[in-house]
Structure 1
Amino acid sequence: MWKDLRSSAFLLLALTAITGLAYPAAVTGMVRAAFPWQAEGSLIEKNGRVIGSELIGQSFSLAGYFWGRPSATTTADPADSTKTIAQPYNAANSGASNLAPSSKALNEAVAERKIALQSAHPGQTDPVPADLLTSSASGLDPHISPAAAAWQIKRVAAARGASADELRKLVASLTEGRDWGVLGEPRINLLRLNMALDERWPMK
């Protein structure tokens, strides 16, 4: 019996060392060597300071910035730990609202967002793009569609003192195509777009 226990203990320790330490360390080392920027979180820096990640959305609300997709992420309520409160783009609690298309709460939220967007864009007659009305499955989507960017150009141009044509060219230059030409949809990284705005037309 003791012989079997010793063998089992040795096997447990050996497999723990191999699969729990050696293998993860080797994979991490190879990834950092091959893809150092991605392995560190695809962090974006400005003037030597990290201002975000290319993979995680941020909230922009000023008129001079393009706005991103709504986020349904939450955090614990500081007043009651058994409840949650909204905290958009909370990377520690990625997730969707999990509301069905027939949900009254979802329809009300979409209606409220639509009213708010239309109020901030007087004279805009085109339909509001869907990605400005609905949250993503992760709640952390860092991209917007070209249609969502185009829909906001008039507001951003007025706030920045730029022409709409200049902004259209900027949006086009930052539009990413489908992965490998077939996967996903064309998209624009919101943080990089707003950084480009700050570089070319600084906010006064």
Structure 2
Amino acid sequence: MNTSLRSTSRTLGVAVRALLMFTVVLGIGYTLLITGIGQLLMPSQSNGSLVRDADGDVVGSSLIGQSFTDEDGDPLPEYFQSRPSAAGDGYDGGASSGSNWGPENRDLIAAITERKAAIAKFNGVSEDEVPADAVTASSSGLDPHISPEYAAIQIDRVAEARGVSADKVKQLVQQHTQGPDFGYLGESTVDVLELNLALDRLKG
């Protein structure tokens, strides 16, 4: 009986020491190691890819889109507009998702039709010029980019609202257009937040 008790106690002691050791090594040490590597090699990404304005205030993240609307939810004409978002009330990082509506879903078709008409009117273009990303949400609902085609139909409207030349706005769009990853993966995109911050810094 005593031998069995000592064996059980010894086994329990080994288990407790192993638990403490692995807690320190994997729960604390590994976490600190990965955090340190992230801060050393990719500090911006490790800290949320934060975007700051000219005053140094955080205005968003380059990884998460946002809406540029007034208090009533109407789009602000002086800013480039993002694509629709199905994440929560729009670009909610805690509710990332798409609509999960299929291409033949009646609600989706109705929403696209309504959005296309509204975007065409807002930008003074024909409905045929409205690209797909202007009327559909990304699968995550958080995509911060739009296509160069969607940016292009917004240039004249933004220029007029800001009282600057369309050429200046077009140059900013070109400067904030990113090519495919590694030169061939994906398509060219425009970062809406970065572009709008550049617009706020634009003079005349």
TM-score (norm 1): 0.86
Q: How does 1:119-134 map to 2 (within 5 A)?
A: 119-124=121-126, 126-134=128-136
Q: Which residue of 1 aligns with 2:83?
A: 69
Q: CA deviation at 1:7?
A: 2.2
Q: CA deviation at 1:3?
A: 2.5
> Is residue 160–residue 201 contact of structure 1 (8 Å, CA) maintained in 2?
no
Q: Which residue of 2 aligns with 1:27?
A: 34
1:39 to 2:46 alignment: yes
How many residues matched? 190
Q: CA deviation at 1:18?
A: 1.9
1:18 to 2:25 alignment: yes
Q: CA deviation at 1:127?
A: 2.4
Mark the CA change 1:115 to 1:125 in structure 2 (over 3 Å): closer, same or farther: closer
Greater Rg by CA: 2
Structure 2 residue identity aligned to 1:10: R
Structure 2 residue identity aligned to 1:21: I
- 2: CA distance between counterparts of 1:201 and 1:71? 31
Paired residue secondary structure (1:101): coil
- 1: CA distance between counterparts of 2:126 and 2:107? 26
- Same amino acid, percent of matched pairs: 45
Mark the CA change 1:95 to 1:119 in structure 2 (over 3 Å): closer, same or farther: same
> Is residue 161–residue 201 contact of structure 1 (8 Å, CA) maintained in 2?
no
Over the residues paired in the alignment, what is the CA RMSD in angstroms? 1.7
Structure 2 residue identity aligned to 1:53: S
Q: Which residue of 1 aligns with 2:3?
A: none
> Is residue 56–residue 89 contact of structure 1 (8 Å, CA) maintained in 2?
yes
Mark the CA change 1:182 to 1:165 in structure 2 (over 3 Å): closer, same or farther: same
Q: How does 1:35-184 map to 2 (within 5 A)?
A: 35-46=42-53, 47-60=55-68, 61-74=75-88, 87-124=89-126, 126-184=128-186
Q: Which residue of 1 aligns with 2:5?
A: none
Q: CA deviation at 1:201?
A: 4.4
After superposition, the C-alpha distances for 1:114-154 in whole angstroms (9 at most, x for unaligned) are 12112212344642111111001111111111111001112
Q: Which residue of 1 aligns with 2:193?
A: 191
Q: Which stretch has the larger CA shift, 142-151 or 98-107?
A: 98-107
Paired residue secondary structure (1:62): coil
- 1: CA distance between counterparts of 2:125 and 2:181? 35
Q: Which residue of 2 aligns with 1:81?
A: none
Q: CA deviation at 1:112?
A: 1.7
Mark the CA change 1:103 to 1:65 in structure 2 (over 3 Å): closer, same or farther: same
Q: Which residue of 1 aligns with 2:15?
A: 8
> Is residue 144–residue 190 contact of structure 1 (8 Å, CA) maintained in 2?
yes
Paired residue secondary structure (2:101): coil
Greater strand content: 1
Mark the CA change 1:125 to 1:70 in structure 2 (over 3 Å): closer, same or farther: closer
